[in-house]
């Protein structure tokens, strides 16, 4: 241990218990504030300028979505990979509402999935998003017929019906 550290420890040992408590509380406060600052739900400032695509206006640059939107999108991908379509669709919808355009794209892609459950859950989630792309995807899904959907009184899944209900929500 260096001599400077030893001298510092000797000084701390010589303090009164009340002073040690105050220093400890102050240290805990600084650590808590630093942790809060690191964990808050904002996108950190980037050290490099955002990329600009040729299709963008010269003033508008690509801005990454907020961290909470990115986390929701990532959660949706994980849930979808495990076959948890309801949770995936809800996470993608949250990501879209929070500013991650990929969430809406994934929901639209889910309307073309092989699984009726995936299409139906995507339709329900798209019903909560009020955008032209969501409406267009729902209209396409409402017109389609899929082989995996039974047509009858006791049908277990109907993405077509889910899309029609979601369109009614749009009003």
Cα 126 to its chain centre, rounded Å, is 15
- Segment 139-147 mean pLDDT: 87
> Could you tell me the pLDDT band of residue 70, with boundaries at 50, 70 and 90?
very high
Residue 26 lies in a domain: no
> Could you tell me the pLDDT band of residue 169, with boundaries at 50, 70 and 90?
confident
| pLDDT for the residue numbered 43 | 42
Residue 44 lies in a domain: no
Residue 50 has pLDDT above 50, yes or no: no
Residue 20 lies in a domain: no
- Report how many domains make up the chain: 1
Residue 11 lies in a domain: no
Residue 117 lies in a domain: yes
Instruction: Indicate the length of the chain as a whole number.
Output: 171
Distance CA(150)–CA(111), nearest Å, equals 17
Residue 58 has pLDDT above 60, yes or no: no
> Could you tell me the pLDDT band of residue 44, with boundaries at 50, 70 and 90?
very low
Are 114 and 144 in contact, with CB atoms under 8 Å apart?
A: no
Are 59 and 66 in contact, with CB atoms under 8 Å apart?
A: no
The per-residue b/e assignment along 43-61, b for 16 or more CB within 10 angstroms, e otherwise, is eeeeeeeeeeeeeeeeeee
pTM (predicted TM-score): 0.61
Residue 73 lies in a domain: yes
Q: Give the residue numbers spanning the domain of 86.
A: 67-146+157-170
């Amino acid at each position: 241990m260096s001599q400077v550290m030893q001298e510092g420890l000797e000084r701390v040992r010589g303090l009164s218990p009340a002073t040690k408590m105050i220093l400890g509380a102050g240290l805990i406060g600084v650590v808590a504030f630093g942790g809060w600052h690191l964990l808050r739900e904002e996108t950190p400032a980037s050290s490099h300028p955002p990329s600009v695509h040729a299709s963008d206006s010269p003033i508008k640059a690509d801005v990454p979505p907020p961290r909470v939107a990115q986390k929701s999108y990532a959660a949706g991908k994980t849930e979808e990979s495990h076959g948890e379509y309801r949770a995936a669709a809800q996470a993608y919808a949250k990501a879209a509402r929070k500013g991650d355009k990929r969430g809406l794209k994934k929901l639209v892609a889910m309307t073309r999935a092989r699984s009726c459950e995936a299409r139906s859950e995507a339709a329900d989630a798209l019903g909560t998003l009020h955008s032209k792309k969501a409406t267009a995807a729902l209209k396409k899904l409402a017109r389609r017929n899929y082989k995996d959907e039974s047509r009858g009184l006791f049908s277990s899944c109907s993405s077509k019906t889910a899309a029609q209900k979601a369109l009614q929500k749009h009003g």
